[in-house]
Amino acid sequence: MAIELKGLTKRAENYSQWYNELVVKADLAEQSAVRGCMVIKPYGYAIWEKMQQTLDGMFKKTGVKNAYFPLLIPKSFLCREAEHVEGFAKECAVVTHYRLKNDPNGKGVIVDPEARLEEELIVRPTSETIIWGTYKNWIHSYRDLPVICNQWCNVMRWEMRTRMFLRTSEFLWQEGHCAHATAEESQARTVQMINLYAEFAEKYMGVPVIIGVKTANERFAGALNTYTIEAMMQDGKALQSGTSHNLGQNFAKAFDVTFVNKENQPEYVWANSWGVSTRLMGALIMTHSDDNGLVLPPHLAPIQVVIVPIFKNDEQLAKITEALQPVLARFAELGISVKYDDDDKRRPGFKFADYEVKGVPVRLAIGARDLENGTVEVMRRDTLEKSVAQFEGIADQVAALLEDIQQNIYQKALKMRQARTYKVDSYEEFKQRIEDGGFFLCHWDGTPETEERIKEETKATIRCIPLDGEEEEGFCMVTGKPSKRRVIIARAY
Amino acid sequence: MAIELKGLTKRAENYSQWYNELVVKADLAEQSAVRGCMVIKPYGYAIWEKMQQTLDGMFKKTGVKNAYFPLLIPKSFLCREAEHVEGFAKECAVVTHYRLKNDPNGKGVIVDPEARLEEELIVRPTSETIIWGTYKNWIHSYRDLPVICNQWCNVMRWEMRTRMFLRTSEFLWQEGHCAHATAEESQARTVQMINLYAEFAEKYMGVPVIIGVKTANERFAGALNTYTIEAMMQDGKALQSGTSHNLGQNFAKAFDVTFVNKENQPEYVWANSWGVSTRLMGALIMTHSDDNGLVLPPHLAPIQVVIVPIFKNDEQLAKITEALQPVLARFAELGISVKYDDDDKRRPGFKFADYEVKGVPVRLAIGARDLENGTVEVMRRDTLEKSVAQFEGIADQVAALLEDIQQNIYQKALKMRQARTYKVDSYEEFKQRIEDGGFFLCHWDGTPETEERIKEETKATIRCIPLDGEEEEGFCMVTGKPSKRRVIIARAY
């Protein structure tokens, strides 16, 4: 697994190329032989696992239970909800046969034409249809409600243009699907989950997000309302990082899922669904990383601290290793994941560059002289600052430093976003400034026509109507019609 | 989620029906709308999650790293290894198209004939081919070795006859794929993993297993050797519960994966792969459960202890709840998962039956009189014995009881297997006795012809050549030819 450490394109030169190279150089993922599908490499997967564990714990605290539903969805299921099929049936992987056979011409194997399925099966692009087809059997009375299920799984959407983590044909995600007795309860869960995503993004990923509602155009196919968290990348583009959909009774009606309420009356069930995916990896990478490589938030870094001994011979190494034992023990007590890299086949300089490109938050280097002086060299990845610290109590110092880094990268990203969020009231000004990226707070007349025009003329979209936005009388920057609040417009991934 | 608690078929009446009913009544899984695919319900999935977490921790201690490889495999990849394609290409889900379109006749959507894939994609039945296609890019020098990767994922094999957990078209599993510099190292890892599976089965699942080698006929398609763990179910049938394959250089040759060794010579890489699946759920259910429902090993039970308060009014409930606070705190300290079921909509008798069918290892019941007397009623699920215990120190007593149950169910299963394992030297005797189930230790002449004949005439297969079997001169029970050791023959799931 030789890594080319040098020659990472600079962000200012070509942000997109920097990203693509970084994903590979940091050993996170690579293109596979299958069009649009990636291989998530062990280092990348370790970050995703930390995300999963953290989110899963947060979910379970709110009463979520995990389950598993089939990968393949009968075509007829996908067609039951009218808007949903428009949104998802078009670009998808279709299973039509269930057998291969030897080619009579002796050229390997071919699809057996006699093994054609009566009804085609679709590799799930999302699971509302199969899940609501199942919930029909689970739900009869108000006593069966709520159902709060989630699954961690793979899904597939046949994307034309793919980029690792940001948009791949197959991706990993979680999808929560809830059934409630009342509209109010379902709405409350919808909002609860988008808030949970925001909390995760900010506290663990160090990624500041804006919580808002999508416009009708940008809604999930089949939803009454889609809530979103939107993050700003370093190039000023938006990245939709998680969504939560209030589905009303649409899927309950499509799959005839009713329950007998407390008044003994049949009623359709109220639904919501919510998900985040490996796309979060893209958000994580693009928010914090720099021209030297990845910068990881300590709360999600698989290796939080790397310790590199500097030694000329085995004797020196043995001394350093011995001196470090209580330090390693203390790190273990503190629950901090440490890699002690005493591999003698790689030189320290190579190791430094490797851990830098991999975004390990803190690097300690210690040599024979440090040992004599009772010191250790500390490098923090976020600022690349080096300092000399007292060896005594180093683990506790580093624990505090990790928290400092976590806060610092969040604040840095927040300041960047604040500095690049603009109130603009003139469409002419908007058209000029959108070229430089950023979030634009603008008045919009609320019509899909205007939204469409903005998109066509500027490649920017309405990211959301921010939930914490204040009411403010104004005029649509495009049509001059009245508007009651500003929306966020940006170019997006 | 109303559950029909009564009317579970008895094992002695119809073991197979008992199993099918139990899976549904214990709320573990159900058939889905997709042929041969199941829905794993929250309670069943919670058990699988505990299995995953435990195994994943055991894997990581041996240096395994998780990664993720694509769901879809190009047909040509599947055909690269000659035996492998024979074994896996036949019954599989084939993706031939990537788009649906509106039916011009207005009847929903149809497959778009213009969106036919140039090369068909197969939903992975196992991932050796796509993974070795990837390893080619990862491995160049002996320094890149070993590669010890695992993935947790879904796979699909188009099974004709399916049974929940035991044999489903889609199932969940983990598959480890290792690349080594030497044959010895690869063999050592192959054996290490089958031993790890055996340890997991015995310590956590409470399922005694026999470790052995498969015959050539029963080997994984493309392997030099397949190691297996075989468990005996209560009907005397065998269940193959985990396998580890020494793949030699077969996949390295098929995908041209070479490395430069320390002597600077190119060499093919040595491979192994190993996996366990949701089939383990079937083993767990069938090994311990009884006519009253599921019996779960405490080490894998999602709810280890349920506490049911018996009360006539809110005041009584409040007193019981208050008295239980230190007990619940102590359980939490001990890391024991407890459900305190104070739901007043279900009567205690209903709760008792529900937790019994769900296999919760220990049930505590406490009423107003118990509170006065300083006692609590304890029911252990494995023996269904009730006893009255002192309320003082109950959590610690239960902790010990849980360990006792864990040991007891393992010993019970072990004794059952020992009592039903027979040395038989006459084929006539074998043919009679195989009808009653059990493991038969027999001499076999080592030929596939004899193996095939036994299978045809008795529906029994050679489960394995046990690793701890002693050398013993003997004569094949079918042909009378010489044999050096006994093999295990049984009917199997």
pLDDT in tens, B345-395: 899 999 999 999 999 999 999 999 999 999 999 999 999 999 999 999 999
pLDDT score recorded for residue B2: 44
Best residue of A52, A64, A68 to probe chain B, by most B CBs closer than 10 Å? A68
Determine, for residues B143 and A345 on separate chains, whether the beta-carbon distance falls below 8 Å: yes
Other Cβ atoms within 10 Å of B419 Cβ, number: 9
pLDDT score recorded for residue B21: 97
CA-CA-CA-CA torsion sign (B353, B358, B360, B361): positive
Determine, for residues A90 and B98 on separate chains, whether the beta-carbon distance falls below 8 Å: no
* A–B CB contacts, 8 A cutoff, strictly below: 204
pLDDT score recorded for residue A87: 81
A260 touches chain B (CB under 8 A): no
pLDDT score recorded for residue B38: 97
- Enumerate the residues of chain B whose CB falls inside 8 A of the CB of residue A132: none
Best residue of B4, B100, B131 to probe chain A, by most A CBs closer than 10 Å? B100
Residue tagged 């804006």 (tokens): A210
CA distances in angstroms from B39 to A64, A298, B50, listed in the order given: 17, 37, 18
Q: What is the mean pLDDT of residues A140-151?
A: 97
CA pair distance B3, B16, nearest whole angstrom:
20
pLDDT score recorded for residue B6: 67
Q: What is the mean pLDDT of residues B44-67?
A: 98
A32 touches chain B (CB under 8 A): yes
Residue in A closest to B109 by C-alpha: A79
Which two structure tokens, joined as six digits, stand for B215?
A: 């015959």
CA pair distance A221, A219, nearest whole angstrom:
6
What 3-state DSSP class applies to B486? strand
Residue in B closest to A63 by C-alpha: B42
pLDDT classification of A1: cutoffs 50, 70, 90 = very low
CA pair distance A294, A307, nearest whole angstrom:
18
Alpha-helix residue ranges (DSSP H) falling in A128-278: 128-138, 183-200, 250-254
- Enumerate the residues of chain A whose CB falls inside 8 A of the CB of residue B72: 34, 37, 93, 156, 170
Determine, for residues A40 and B68 on separate chains, whether the beta-carbon distance falls below 8 Å: yes
Instruction: Specify the range with the lowest mean pLDDT, choosing from A374-388, B95-109, B206-220, B413-427.
Output: B95-109
pLDDT score recorded for residue A250: 95
What 3-state DSSP class applies to B466? strand
A60 touches chain B (CB under 8 A): no
* Backbone φ, ψ for residue A37 (5° rounding): -105, 140
Which two structure tokens, joined as six digits, stand for B46?
A: 């919670």
Cα A266 to the center of its chain, rounded Å: 39
Min Cα–Cα distance to chain A from B395, Å: 24
In whole numbers, what is the pLDDT of chain B averaged over residues?
Answer: 96
Burial of B212 per CB tally in 10 Å (0-12, 13-18, 19+): buried
Closest partner CB to B67 (pick from A42, A68, A78): A42
Closest partner CB to A42 (pick from B2, B38, B66): B66
Task: Please name which of B124, B104, B122 lies closest in space to residue B113, comparing C-alpha atoms.
Answer: B104
Other Cβ atoms within 10 Å of A406 Cβ, number: 21
Q: Which A residues in the span 339-368 are in contact with B, Cβ-Cβ below 8 Å?
A: 345
B165 touches chain A (CB under 8 A): no
Cα B425 to the center of its chain, rounded Å: 32
pLDDT digit string, tens, across residues B261-291: 999 999 999 999 999 999 999 999 999 999 9
CA pair distance B230, B288, nearest whole angstrom:
16
| Contact status, residue B224 vs residue B235, Cβ threshold 8 Å | no
Min Cα–Cα distance to chain B from A224, Å: 23
| Contact status, residue B84 vs residue B151, Cβ threshold 8 Å | no
B53 touches chain A (CB under 8 A): no
Q: Dump strand ranges (E) for B191-237.
A: 210-213, 225-232
Best residue of B40, B51, B72 to probe chain A, by most A CBs closer than 10 Å? B72
Q: Which A residues in the span 286-315 are in contact with B, Cβ-Cβ below 8 Å?
A: none
Q: What is the Cβ-side half-sphere exposure of residue A294, based on CA atoms within 13 angstroms?
A: 33
Cα-based angle A214, A217, A223 (whole degrees, multiple of 5): 65
Q: Classify residue A453 by its DSSP letter.
A: H
Determine, for residues B93 and A30 on separate chains, whether the beta-carbon distance falls below 8 Å: no
Determine, for residues A100 and B94 on separate chains, whether the beta-carbon distance falls below 8 Å: yes
A41 touches chain B (CB under 8 A): yes
Amino acid present at B248:
G
Which strand ranges, in their side-by-side order, compose the sheet holding A375-380?
A338-340, A305-310, A362-367, A375-380, A386-390
A158 touches chain B (CB under 8 A): yes
Measure the CA dihedral A59/A69/A35/B108, to 10°.
-120
A416 touches chain B (CB under 8 A): no
Determine, for residues B68 and A39 on separate chains, whether the beta-carbon distance falls below 8 Å: yes
Determine, for residues A134 and B39 on separate chains, whether the beta-carbon distance falls below 8 Å: yes
Instruction: Report the greatest alpha carbon distance in chain B.
Output: 82
A160 touches chain B (CB under 8 A): no
pLDDT score recorded for residue B488: 98
* Backbone φ, ψ for residue B22 (5° rounding): -60, -40
In whole numbers, what is the pLDDT of chain A averaged over residues?
Answer: 96
> Who's near B286: CB < 8 A, 6+ residues apart?
B19, B233, B234, B235, B239
A49 touches chain B (CB under 8 A): yes
CA distances in angstroms from A319 to A292, A314, A324, A366, A395, listed in the order given: 32, 9, 9, 11, 18
| Contact status, residue A378 vs residue A364, Cβ threshold 8 Å | yes
| Contact status, residue B213 vs residue B226, Cβ threshold 8 Å | yes
Q: What is the mean pLDDT of residues B146-155?
A: 98
CA pair distance A251, B252, nearest whole angstrom:
49
Per-position DSSP letters for B89-125, written without gaps between them: SSEEEEEEEEEEEE-TTSSSEEE-GGGEEEEEEEE-S
> Who's near B364: CB < 8 A, 6+ residues apart?
B305, B306, B307, B308, B376, B377, B378, B379, B394, B398
Each as own residue / partner, the long-range contacts of residues B8-14 (CB below 8 Å, 24 or more positions apart, any chain) are B8/B291, B8/B292, B8/B293, B8/B357, B10/B291, B11/B234, B11/B235, B11/B290, B11/B291
A92 touches chain B (CB under 8 A): yes
Determine, for residues A98 and B158 on separate chains, whether the beta-carbon distance falls below 8 Å: yes
> Who's near A445: CB < 8 A, 6+ residues apart?
A476, A478, A479, A481, A482, A483
Closest partner CB to A96 (pick from B74, B111, B122): B111
Determine, for residues A71 and B156 on separate chains, whether the beta-carbon distance falls below 8 Å: yes
Instruction: Report the greatest alpha carbon distance in chain A.
Output: 82
pLDDT score recorded for residue A2: 43
Residue in A closest to B50 by C-alpha: A66
- Give the residues across from A152 on adjacent strands: A174
For strands A72-74 and A116-123, give the pairing. Answer: antiparallel
Which two structure tokens, joined as six digits, stand for B101?
A: 């379109």
Determine, for residues A70 and B153 on separate chains, whether the beta-carbon distance falls below 8 Å: no
| Contact status, residue B476 vs residue B450, Cβ threshold 8 Å | yes
Which two structure tokens, joined as six digits, stand for B345?
A: 């909509």
pLDDT digit string, tens, across residues B459-475: 999 999 999 988 999 99
pLDDT score recorded for residue A6: 67
Angle, helices A279-288 vs A15-25, to 10°: value is 110
CA pair distance A1, B133, nearest whole angstrom:
15
What 3-state DSSP class applies to A111? strand
- Enumerate the residues of chain A whose CB falls inside 8 A of the CB of residue B66: 42, 45-46, 49
Determine, for residues A39 and B70 on separate chains, whether the beta-carbon distance falls below 8 Å: yes
Residue in B closest to A118 by C-alpha: B35
Per-position DSSP letters for B53-85, written without gaps between them: HHHHHHHHHTT-EE-B--SEEEHHHHTSSHHHH
Cα-based angle B2, B5, B8 (whole degrees, multiple of 5): 135
CA pair distance B199, B151, nearest whole angstrom:
20
Residue tagged 């995953």 (tokens): B52
For strands B482-483 and B65-66, give the pairing. Answer: unpaired
A87 touches chain B (CB under 8 A): no
pLDDT digit string, tens, across residues A452-470: 999 999 999 999 999 998 8
Q: Dump strand ranges (E) for A190-346.
A: 210-213, 225-232, 238-248, 258-260, 266-268, 270-277, 305-310, 338-340
pLDDT classification of B1: cutoffs 50, 70, 90 = very low
Determine, for residues A69 and B122 on separate chains, whether the beta-carbon distance falls below 8 Å: no
Determine, for residues B92 and A76 on separate chains, whether the beta-carbon distance falls below 8 Å: no
Q: What is the mean pLDDT of residues A133-148?
A: 97
B75 touches chain A (CB under 8 A): yes
CA pair distance B334, B338, nearest whole angstrom:
11
Determine, for residues B130 and A69 on separate chains, whether the beta-carbon distance falls below 8 Å: no
What 3-state DSSP class applies to A286? helix
| Contact status, residue A123 vs residue A78, Cβ threshold 8 Å | no
B71 touches chain A (CB under 8 A): yes
B68 touches chain A (CB under 8 A): yes
Determine, for residues A1 and B147 on separate chains, whether the beta-carbon distance falls below 8 Å: yes
Which two structure tokens, joined as six digits, stand for B188?
A: 């050592």
Best residue of A65, A71, A174 to probe chain B, by most B CBs closer than 10 Å? A71
Closest partner CB to B133 (pick from A33, A72, A172): A33
- Enumerate the residues of chain B whose CB falls inside 8 A of the CB of residue A147: 1
- Enumerate the residues of chain A whose CB falls inside 8 A of the CB of residue B153: 154
pLDDT digit string, tens, across residues A259-306: 999 999 999 999 999 999 999 999 999 999 999 999 999 999 999 999
Closest partner CB to B96 (pick from A30, A75, A111): A111
Q: Is the pLDDT of residue B335 over 70?
A: yes
